Amino acid sequence: MSKWGITGVTTLTPDNKITNSTLIINGDRIEKVSKEKINTQISVTVDNAVLTPGLINGHDHLLGNYYPKVGNGPYENWLPWDNDLKSAPVYAERQQIENRDLYLLGGYRNLISGVTNISDLIPHFVQDPFLKILPTKVISNFTMAHSVASFALPWGDGIEKEHELALKNDIPFVTHCSEGFDPETRQDVQTLDRKGALSSHSVLVHGLAFSEEDIKMIKDRGASVVWCADSNMFMYNKTTNIKYLLDTGVNVCIGTDSPMSGGQNLLYEMKFDRELYKKLYHKSLSEELIVKMVTTNAAKAFRLKNSGHIKPGFIADFVIFAETKNNPYDSVVSAHLKDVLLVVIDGKPAYGDKKYATIFEALKVKYQNLIVDGVEKIIIGDLKGVTDRINRAVGFQKKFPFLPVEFK
């Protein structure tokens, strides 16, 4: 039986707030959202909790999921950081691990923080072998360029061709953009526009050097921007002009980047972004907007149809958080790993508190027992096998702050 329900939660659609709500899931879709009494054979009541669409990580490099951070910035652009990374002892350590396990490590890092979909910016031939084994979803329909300047890595078939293909297939064209301060990188937005590659299909990551004129052009062309504040501050001691982007009405979403330069997970990133915005502008960034940046805004940017909202007919990707604040949006933004109560992907549970094991069992979803951040949890797949293989590869018990797990 694939029809089941949840009741008692405060649902953030995220445009509206529905208290004491009921959600009916049928297969991989949301069938109904209401305040009516639940009428499914399989059901769970979750009190003092907030339900949101599954979080979307707007920028990660799953192959680069490792620890600790590497860098001695601030840098002029991404290239000297990349050189420092590849000459670091921890990079040599990481290279001992199979790509499969680095991908799985990144997938689990995202899953336990409520992420149901990840934008992994890397050539398709690198990520394709691992997409079906990951515990969470990765956006696979996109075209790309590594970056815009002449010293970009040779990813894809060139900006013009990649963007043209994005338009043809109605998928996003994703690239690092304006990530640095050298004269060429400062011209990235104008270069994209000159090449005919700045449009509503364009997703621009970082944007450190965006001028106000660039931002107006981005808005006029309908492009989206991914904000990776922690990574920006670590590598460059500067981030994009986020206030002007938001004030101008640009569609902005949030990404972590890899943990070797960026935030530990998307929950950490949301809190970091809120605090940084307050520090930079002496104004508060609303929690409701932050939630939209990791749900509806990201779904729009990456052209994820029927995703990013809690609506009938939409894909049943959602997360339930403990309600720890009076404002339910604040409960999401302020959440820690222990506050992630249940993650559902394509209508099936993937991770959550041990007390929801009956849902996993009723839907015939196999799971593993573990402790995350001091709380008993269950998770799909074989995370223990992943960590055991990593430990054998590097020769010691590797600890990851973004994956604070123990196995019973």
Instruction: Judge contact between 63 and 126, C-beta under 8 A.
Output: yes
2 pLDDT higher than 90:
no
Task: Average the pLDDT over 131-137 and give the result.
Answer: 98
Q: How far apart are CA 216 and CA 263, in angstroms?
A: 28
Decide: helix, strand or coil at residue 44: strand
Decide: helix, strand or coil at residue 19: strand
How does strand 251-254 pair with strand 318-322? Answer: unpaired
Instruction: Judge contact between 303 and 166, C-beta under 8 A.
Output: no
133 pLDDT higher than 70:
yes
* 3-54+308-406 shares its CATH topology with 55-301: no
52 pLDDT higher than 60:
yes
1 pLDDT higher than 70:
no
> Residue 300, class by beta-carbon neighbours within 10 Å (0-12 exposed, 13-18 middle, 19+ buried)?
middle
> Residue 3, class by beta-carbon neighbours within 10 Å (0-12 exposed, 13-18 middle, 19+ buried)?
middle
Task: Average the pLDDT over 282-302 and give the result.
Answer: 98
| 242: nearest Cα among 202, 201, 283 | 283
- The tens digit of pLDDT for each residue in 109-127 reads 999 999 999 999 999 999 9
Domain edges within the chain: 3-54+308-406, 55-301
Q: Residues 3-54+308-406: name the CATH superfamily.
A: Urease, subunit C, domain 1 (2.30.40.10)
Q: Read off the pLDDT band of 301 (50, 70, 90).
A: very high
Q: How far apart are CA 283 and CA 285, in angstroms?
A: 7
Q: How far apart are CA 159 and CA 194, in angstroms?
A: 11
351 pLDDT higher than 90:
yes
Q: Read off the pLDDT band of 37 (50, 70, 90).
A: confident
Q: Read off the pLDDT band of 205 (50, 70, 90).
A: very high
Range 55-301: architecture per CATH:
Alpha-Beta Barrel (3.20)
Task: Average the pLDDT over 254-268 and give the result.
Answer: 97
Lowest mean pLDDT among 40-49, 308-317, 341-350, 371-380: 40-49
